[in-house]
């Protein structure tokens, strides 16, 4: 097994930073040492197979993106990134583990949905991966299947309060699933929007001739998110089930989560880079002759972007600082404009919902450090350490310590990254939601279980480098 020494860098963890050398033996970290240390009287640099010079750079745990959708069928098409292309793009951006969503559709067995996702991912991934389970049809059979998920290394499942006729669960179904979660320790993940009410607003807007992408966000008003978030919290309180609300975009929803946490409830929330940096006004579009007002389809996602005039992003950044929101995932669900997003020309309700971002999360959140929004340690915490603790990976992932997987990123704070198609864009998309963003930092070297897969602007990995990782129960519960 090869040995590697990362020397001269500043090791950053969720709790602090220090100059240290990291010794890797095979796939795991063997030791974190004082700079220039010897081991059993041996000069390490002379005895290892490879030395990585991290002088002046940060050495951080590889990022964990706990919310991705590779190859997800949705809206009459499917997410454009395969497990191969999507995980390769993740690696370029310093993410070394994803947790994707296996899907049970209406009328299908949970076990069959999970098997289908194993088949999609096996042998294709550049980095390690796990699964959450989407339950799109809550009935007696699926409730029974939930009880066996933890044995499969899947400790979380997702329900939708949105998308009637597709994934929607009503309150009675949610209640029953949460009762199982309370018994088993599974984490309930919730897409919290009032889907039936949204469908009424969509129909009314279309009848009024309001058909451009901008009206997607108008129909999915923040009241729809706040109401559903509150309802999910109440059901979780009744059943004593832990609750994790995904892709929080409205400051009012954050307030609901904060209030529940202040009473000691096991309620958690994630947000995504798009809600920190982008706004509903992006969807007014008209930046290109080709797409005109339909340009806004690039930023159609659910929950939607919020108006910059209502200061939602400021409150989201604040909630990340105060831990009212615990982490940042991407909800990576990419669709091309050609032949995919354009399915919704003339009817915003038919635009496939999703933004590509798995490649850029680590950089975008580092820019938050540069801009004074979060600390360097909090950057590591919300992108690696908390995802590992929240979803049963901690100790193996999300930390630089002896015995952990050698998933490590060497990050250059003096580097620069220009985001855009033709520059730092490796996702399988014909556009970037982040076109023109400039980042004051750069991912230099990425190791996945001790293997260097990105180095000096070269991709050195291959499909199948990544393995399925079984997860334990959440280590974030009180």
pLDDT single digits (tens) 193-214: 999 999 999 999 999 999 999 9
Question: Is the residue at 429 inside a domain?
Answer: no
Could you tell me what percent of the chain has a pLDDT over 90? 92
Q: Which domain range does residue 98 map to?
A: 63-390
Question: Is the residue at 380 inside a domain?
Answer: yes
**Domain identity same for 140 and 260:** yes
- Residue 390 tokens read as 């929240």
**Domain identity same for 180 and 196:** yes
**Domain identity same for 50 and 68:** no
Query: Structurally, how many domains does the chain consist of?
Result: 2
Q: Which residue has the higher pLDDT, 288 or 39?
A: 39
Mean pLDDT over 181-202 rounds to: 98
**Domain identity same for 175 and 30:** no
**Domain identity same for 44 and 86:** no
| Confidence check: pLDDT of 36 > 80 | yes
Question: Is the residue at 445 inside a domain?
Answer: yes
Q: Could you give the C-alpha distances from 210 to 199, 284, 346, in angstroms and in order?
A: 14, 12, 9
Question: Is the residue at 253 inside a domain?
Answer: yes
Total-model pTM? 0.97
**Domain identity same for 203 and 278:** yes
Q: Where are the beta strands (DSSP E) in 42-127?
A: 42-43, 50-53, 58-61, 63-68, 73-74, 77-78, 95-104
CATH number for position 447? 2.30.40.10
Q: Could you give the C-alpha distances from 131 to 101, 155, 318, 465, 470, in angstroms and in order?
A: 5, 9, 30, 17, 8
C-alpha dihedral sign at 259, 323, 128, 88: positive
| Confidence check: pLDDT of 6 > 70 | yes
Q: Could you give the C-alpha distances from 332 to 23, 173, 272, 310, 325, in angstroms and in order?
A: 33, 27, 9, 25, 19
| CB of 115 closer than 8 Å to CB of 154 | no
Question: Is the residue at 328 inside a domain?
Answer: yes
**Domain identity same for 44 and 167:** no
Q: Could you give the C-alpha distances from 211 to 202, 261, 293, 296, 301, in angstroms and in order?
A: 9, 39, 10, 12, 16
Among candidate residues 477, 474, 327, the one with its CA nearest the CA of residue 394 = 474
Question: Is the residue at 17 inside a domain?
Answer: yes
Question: Is the residue at 44 inside a domain?
Answer: yes
Confidence of residue 318 (pLDDT cuts 50, 70, 90): very high
Altogether, the residues listed in the chain come to a count of: 478
**Domain identity same for 38 and 90:** no
Peptide bond just before 146 cis, omega within 30 deg: no
- Residue 395 tokens read as 């100790």
Question: Is the residue at 339 inside a domain?
Answer: yes
- Residue 213 tokens read as 């992408």
Among candidate residues 71, 133, 75, the one with its CA nearest the CA of residue 302 = 75
**Domain identity same for 234 and 325:** yes
CATH number for position 108? 3.20.20.140
**Domain identity same for 301 and 408:** no
**Domain identity same for 177 and 202:** yes
| Confidence check: pLDDT of 216 > 90 | yes
Q: Could you give the C-alpha distances from 441 to 110, 329, 412, in angstroms and in order?
A: 42, 19, 6
| CB of 275 closer than 8 Å to CB of 249 | yes
What is residue 286's predicted lDDT score, i.e. its pLDDT?
A: 61
Q: What is the pLDDT of residues 169-180, one digit of tens each?
A: 999 999 999 999
What is residue 285's predicted lDDT score, i.e. its pLDDT?
A: 67
Among candidate residues 443, 394, 438, the one with its CA nearest the CA of residue 419 = 438
212 CB-near residues (< 8 Å, 6+ apart)? 283, 285, 293, 294, 296, 348
327 three-state secondary structure: strand
Q: What is the pLDDT of residues 357-414, one digit of tens each?
A: 999 999 999 999 999 999 999 999 999 999 999 999 999 999 999 999 999 999 999 9
- The DSSP string of 262-285 is HTT--EEEEE-HHHHH--GGGGG-
What is residue 401's predicted lDDT score, i.e. its pLDDT?
A: 98
Give the separation between CA 38 and CA 402, rounded to whole angstroms.
16
What is residue 291's predicted lDDT score, i.e. its pLDDT?
A: 81
Helix (H) / strand (E) element for 376: namely helix 376-380
**Domain identity same for 325 and 416:** no
């Amino acid at each position: 097994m090869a040995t590697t020494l990362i020397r001269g860098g500043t090791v950053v963890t969720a709790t602090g930073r220090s100059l240290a050398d990291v010794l890797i033996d095979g796939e795991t970290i063997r030791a974190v040492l004082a700079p220039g240390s010897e081991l059993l009287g041996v000069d390490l640099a002379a005895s290892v197979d490879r030395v990585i010079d991290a002088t002046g750079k940060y050495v951080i745990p590889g990022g964990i993106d706990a919310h991705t959708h590779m190859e997800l069928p949705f809206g009459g098409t499917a997410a454009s990134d395969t497990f191969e292309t999507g995980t390769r793009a993740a690696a370029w951006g310093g993410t070394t583990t994803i947790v994707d969503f296996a899907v049970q559709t209406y009328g299908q067995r949970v076990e069959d949905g999970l098997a289908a996702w194993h088949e999609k991912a096996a042998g294709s991934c550049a980095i390690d991966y796990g699964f959450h389970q989407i339950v799109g049809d809550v009935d007696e059979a699926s409730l029974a299947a939930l009880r066996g998920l933890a044995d499969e290394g899947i400790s979380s499942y997702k329900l939708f309060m949105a998308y009637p006729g597709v994934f929607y669960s009503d309150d009675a179904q949610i209640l029953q699933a949460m009762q199982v979660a309370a018994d088993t320790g599974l984490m309930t993940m919730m897409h919290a929007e009032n889907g039936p009410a949204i469908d009424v607003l969509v129909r009314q807007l279309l009848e009024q001739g309001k058909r451009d992408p901008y009206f997607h966000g108008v129909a999915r008003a923040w009241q729809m998110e706040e109401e559903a978030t509150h309802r999910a919290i109440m059901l979780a309180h009744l059943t004593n089930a832990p609750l994790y609300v995904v892709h929080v975009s409205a400051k009012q929803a954050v307030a609901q989560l904060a209030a529940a946490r202040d009473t000691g409830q096991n309620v958690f929330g994630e947000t995504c880079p798009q809600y920190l940096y982008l706004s509903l006004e992006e969807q007014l579009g008209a930046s290109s002759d080709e797409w005109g007002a339909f340009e806004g389809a690039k930023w159609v996602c659910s929950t939607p972007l919020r108006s910059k005039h209502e200061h939602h992003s400021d409150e989201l950044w604040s909630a990340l600082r105060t831990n009212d929101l615990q982490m940042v995932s991407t909800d990576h669900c990419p669709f091309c404009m050609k032949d995919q997003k354009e399915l919704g020309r003339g009817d915003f309700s038919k635009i496939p919902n999703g933004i590509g971002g798995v490649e850029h999360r680590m950089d975008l959140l580092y820019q938050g450090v540069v801009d004074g929004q979060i600390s360097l340690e909090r950057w590591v915490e919300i992108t690696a350490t908390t995802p590992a603790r929240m979803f049963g990976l901690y100790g193996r992932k999300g930390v630089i310590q002896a015995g952990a997987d050698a998933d490590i990123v060497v990050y250059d704070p003096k580097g620069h990254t220009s985001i855009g198609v033709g520059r730092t864009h490796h996702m399988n998309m014909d556009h970037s939601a982040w076109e023109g963003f400039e980042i004051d930092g750069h991912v230099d070297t990425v190791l996945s279980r001790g293997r260097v897969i990105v180095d000096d602007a070269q991709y050195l990995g291959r499909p199948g480098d990544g393995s399925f990782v079984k997860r334990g129960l959440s280590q974030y519960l009180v």
